[in-house]
């Protein structure tokens, strides 16, 4: 882990304006916050700054807007943040077409100690993702100090994660530091056996981290639709399941590499199948390599869940990223919920990364039984892959 950046405790914030980049990219349902996990994760840093007399100005992106889309305004986040912080801490918000718009600049000047000022969605301005120097300069002008607490965006070299850090005295927030410390335990002398459960849709999305994991782990459990590509590459019949034929050679080479490294790979033995991933579908159970031509594999079956569970009982370190099926639909959630229960029951060091995996563990009501629930799926995978995270690297070169 990079250790030569300042921590929150190193900053003198009394009476100063502190610009905080948080990851408040939460799901919205009917104009309201659907899951406030990321907002809650930002609270410890905000509360420390407020208790120490700072004026907090808060930046985040929300969704993937094209310009200033009404549905991606930060208002629902501001309302939920106000509820969580309570009436004693005023949360200020004013909509705008850009967090750098003239009216936002005027609004930011009204921030006072003991208050939180939530600025508009950083991605309303295209200059954010370009790490535009002028955009970063305007945002930096709002604060005296900068705190990056957005681990979920740490793998993005954007103006609000990298550009500002180059312009202001900067430090890592409590969440960012905790994320790095937890993930470091997976890469530096983890307690063994070290097991990884990985799922999701495509092998191609997780190819780099799969290659890296073969060098790190003792056992690898592959589920979700991505398992179909591995099984099909071995000659299995997968019906209408999602299969990446252009990844067959890669899948086989990964399995061969794992064998050379003495890494045991667990692939599904059975699947719960249906004609389409729809609620109320008629489901049936089939061997993993004999899915009928008119059906799709949409969840791992009970035999696979049992095998995964018995294997995970042996683990002393577990990392889980990606669901075992279309868990949002009840008929195809059994495998993912079984994995959630297995990981939660393990007394060792357990880490969950990735939005879908986090949603699943929350759906199961088991988040409190996990050692660390990461707020950044993409960032956690890139960390495990061995990549430098730009948002973290920028803190090491910030102004004194």
Indicate which residue of 114, 240, 306, 378 is catalytic: 378
Indicate which residue of 16, 75, 202, 240 is catalytic: 202
Within 13 Å, how many C-alpha atoms sit on residue 296's CB side? 17
Nearest Cα neighbor of 196 from 380, 398, 4 is 380
Nearest Cα neighbor of 359 from 314, 322, 397 is 322
User: What is the bridge-based pairing of β-strands 270-274 and 296-300?
Assistant: antiparallel
Annotation says 152 is catalytic: no
Annotation says 192 is catalytic: no
3-class DSSP string for 193-258:
CEEEEECCCCCHHHHHHHHHHHHHCCEEEECCCHHHHHHHHCCCEECCCCCCHHHHHHHHHHHHHH
β-bridge mates for residue 349, sequence order = 317
Whether a cis peptide bond, with omega within 30° of 0, leads into 193 is yes
Indicate which residue of 17, 21, 38, 92 is catalytic: 38
Annotation says 6 is catalytic: no
Compute φ and ψ for 214, nearest 5 degrees: -60, -30
CA distances from 73 to 84, 112, 295 (A): 19, 23, 40
Annotation says 235 is catalytic: no
Within 13 Å, how many C-alpha atoms sit on residue 188's CB side? 9
Indicate which residue of 199, 223, 322, 355 is catalytic: 355
Which residues are designated catalytic? 38, 202, 355, 378
């Amino acid at each position: 882990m990079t250790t030569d950046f300042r921590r929150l405790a190193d900053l003198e914030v009394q009476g100063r304006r502190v610009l905080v980049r948080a990851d408040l990219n939460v799901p919205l349902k009917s104009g309201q916050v659907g899951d406030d996990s990321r907002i809650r994760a930002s609270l410890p840093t905000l509360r420390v700054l407020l208790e120490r007399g700072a004026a907090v100005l808060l930046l985040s992106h929300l969704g993937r807007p094209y310009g200033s889309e009404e549905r991606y305004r930060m208002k629902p986040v501001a309302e939920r943040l106000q509820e969580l912080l309570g009436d004693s801490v005023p949360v200020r918000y004013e909509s705008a077409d850009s967090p750098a718009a003239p009216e936002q600049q005027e609004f930011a000047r009204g921030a006072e100690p003991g208050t939180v000022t939530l600025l508009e969605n950083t991605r309303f301005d295209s200059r954010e993702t370009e790490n535009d120097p002028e955009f970063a300069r305007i945002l930096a002008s709002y604060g005296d100090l900068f705190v990056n607490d957005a681990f979920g965006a740490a793998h993005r070299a954007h103006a609000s994660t990298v550009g500002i850090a180059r312009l202001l005295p900067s430090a890592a927030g409590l969440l960012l530091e905790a994320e790095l410390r937890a993930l470091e335990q997976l890469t530096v002398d983890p307690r063994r056996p070290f097991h990884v459960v990985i799922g999701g849709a495509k092998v191609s999305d997780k190819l780099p981290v799969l290659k890296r994991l073969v060098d790190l782990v003792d056992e690898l459990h592959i589920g979700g639709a991505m398992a179909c590509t591995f099984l099909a590459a071995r000659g299995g019949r997968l019906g209408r399941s999602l299969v990446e034929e252009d990844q067959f050679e890669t899948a086989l080479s990964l399995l061969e590499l794992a064998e050379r490294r003495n890494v045991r790979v667990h692939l599904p033995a059975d699947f719960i199948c249906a004609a389409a991933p729809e609620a109320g579908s008629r489901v049936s159970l089939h061997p993993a390599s004999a899915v009928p031509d008119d059906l799709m594999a949409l969840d791992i079956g009970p035999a696979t869940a049992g095998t995964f569970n018995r294997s995970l009982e042996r683990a002393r370190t577990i990392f889980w990223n990606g669901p075992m099926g279309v868990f949002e639909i009840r008929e195809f959630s059994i495998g993912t919920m079984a994995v959630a229960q297995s990981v939660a029951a393990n007394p060792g060091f357990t880490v969950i990364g990735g939005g879908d995996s986090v949603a699943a563990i929350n759906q199961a009501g088991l988040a409190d039984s996990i050692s660390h629930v990461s707020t950044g799926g993409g960032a956690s995978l890139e960390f495990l892959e061995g990549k430098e995270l730009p948002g973290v690297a920028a803190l090491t070169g910030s102004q004194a």
